[in-house]
Homo-oligomer: A and B are copies of this chain.
Amino acid sequence: MRYILDQDHMPTAWFNVLPVMPEPLQPPLHPETREPIGPDALAPLFPMGLILQEVSAEPWIDIPGEVLDVLRLWRPTPLVRAERLERSLGTPARIYFKDESLSPAGSHKPNTAVAQAFYNRQEGVARLSTETGAGQWGSALAFACRQFELECKVFMVRASYGQKPYRRVLMETWGADVVPSPVDDPDHPGSLGLAISDAVRDAASRDDTHYSLGSVLNHVLLHQTIIGLEAKEQLALAGEAQPDVVVGCCGGGSNLAGLALPFVPNDGVRLVAAEPSSCPTLTEGRFDYDFGDTAGLTPLLAMYTLGHDFVPPPIHAGGLRYHGDAPIISSLVRSGRMDAVAYPQGKTFEAAIQFANTEGKIPAPETGHAIRAVIDEALAAKELGEERVILFNFSGHGLLDLSAYDDYLHGRLLD
């Protein structure tokens, strides 16, 4: 059963979690002085509209009409009850998911890409630069820039540029200029940290260009809250008072936050982050100030981190291979409001295929982590004979990640 919201009932304001955080966030620090930084320090890279959202204390922030117009190309997304998965598990739990795979780019990423393109356009910026690993974020921003007639420059990790051409082509189809990174060393396979450095340098060196980031920062997570706000209305349509547990996979934290943050004030709703055991930031990292990139160009953020020089192994869930986590997510975990679990990738593909064989859709490898946690919750509910209501974010499809399924199905996957 799918629960559909009418387009006239789409949320028109984002939910700002900052005023209701259990513990206040620690401010970002200047990378050199280690003093708290003000809005002006970010102005060369971001438009003021986004910088103000980064620190806003308002509980709700209006979504501009032009952003809503683009989001309506695929939103509201359906809330789906996964009855066939429930049946195959024999669980009394009721499992619901938000289907964020229906966006043009195939994931939740365009929710913020569209907003970021809009605010930049509004302030007269003509061009955005960004980095991308396997291409999920780069393709979302390419799509958004095309809608607002901005140029888009994407620095793509060189190894992915060569091995995963489909997302590169997707970006080019939407008009983006995609180059392999690092730009100054054609023999280097690249990394996300180095690509961030390339993109920041590009933006800092040109008056017409700003930089755009797809996760981690407060304003990015804010734009994603439309997912959880829709889910709340749709759960009511399904006759559910509230979920017992809300699950999302977690790399930088934006898809998890998008679904979970609107539930932070709801007592009795457990929030769960599912991450890879090969990049166990929340479950094994330390809480500390650290850089967002490898080269140390970004402000220092208070977050769980494995160290900005940590290089995660090459697992297929590229979107979860990040040394840090969003400060908001990190603070929620530290204060005990959110739990975190970690899984080896083999267990996540097993769960993803169980989902594909019951509900039909092929999950992104990242989303497989959330599904693993959901199946374990549902089996625990079965064990206890509990009617648990489980809500998770189907953050993206895996149609451009089928080589990973190929590896799993033919025994070539490393844990």
| A297 part of interface (Cβ distance < 8 Å) | no
> Which residues of A in the span 1-57 have a Cβ within 8 Å of any Cβ on B?
1-2, 4, 6-7
Q: A410: nearest residue on chain B (CB-CB)? A: B172
> Which residues of A in the span 187-215 have a Cβ within 8 Å of any Cβ on B?
none
How many Å lie between the Cα of A362 and that of B167 in the bound state?
A: 12
Tell which of B72, B170, B405 touches A362, judged by Cβ atoms closer than 8 Å.
B170
> Which residues of A in the span 285-322 have a Cβ within 8 Å of any Cβ on B?
none
| A165 part of interface (Cβ distance < 8 Å) | yes
List, in ascending order, chain B residues with CB within 8 A of A356's CB: 104, 173-174
What DSSP secondary structure best describes chain A's contact surface? Answer: helix
How many Å lie between the Cα of A174 and that of B353 in the bound state?
A: 8
Q: Is the CB of A359 within 8 A of B73?
A: yes
| A387 part of interface (Cβ distance < 8 Å) | no
List, in ascending order, chain B residues with CB within 8 A of A84's CB: 73, 147
- Give the interface segment out of A257-265, A267-275, A396-404: A396-404
List, in ascending order, chain B residues with CB within 8 A of A175's CB: 357
Stoichiometry, copies per complex: 2
Interface size on A, residues (CB 8 A): 38
| A166 part of interface (Cβ distance < 8 Å) | yes
* Cβ proximity bits A161-188 to B, threshold 8 Å, 1 near / 0 not: 0000110011011110000000000000
How many Å lie between the Cα of A27 and that of B402 in the bound state?
A: 43
How many Å lie between the Cα of A4 and that of B360 in the bound state?
A: 21
Within the complex, the shortest CB–CB distance from A7 to chain B, in Å, comes to 6
Q: Is the CB of A360 within 8 A of B7?
A: no
| A102 part of interface (Cβ distance < 8 Å) | yes
Tell which of B104, B165, B361, B403 touches A104, judged by Cβ atoms closer than 8 Å.
B361
How many Å lie between the Cα of A250 and that of B65 in the bound state?
A: 39
Q: Is the CB of B169 within 8 A of A409?
A: yes
| A143 part of interface (Cβ distance < 8 Å) | yes
The answer to whether A1 and B72 touch (CB under 8 A), given A361-B104, A400-B399, is yes
Q: Is the CB of A360 within 8 A of B403?
A: no
Q: Is the CB of B362 within 8 A of A403?
A: no
| A406 part of interface (Cβ distance < 8 Å) | yes
Q: Is the CB of A169 within 8 A of B405?
A: yes
Q: Is the CB of B73 within 8 A of A360?
A: yes
Closest 10 CB pairs of A and B: A104-B360, A169-B402, A166-B402, A169-B406, A399-B399, A73-B360, A173-B405, A4-B4, A169-B405, A146-B357
User: 21 pairs across A/B with beta carbons < 8 Å?
Assistant: A1-B72, A2-B7, A2-B72, A4-B4, A102-B102, A103-B360, A104-B356, A104-B360, A106-B399, A147-B360, A165-B403, A166-B403, A169-B402, A169-B405, A169-B409, A170-B402, A172-B405, A173-B353, A173-B356, A173-B405, A399-B400
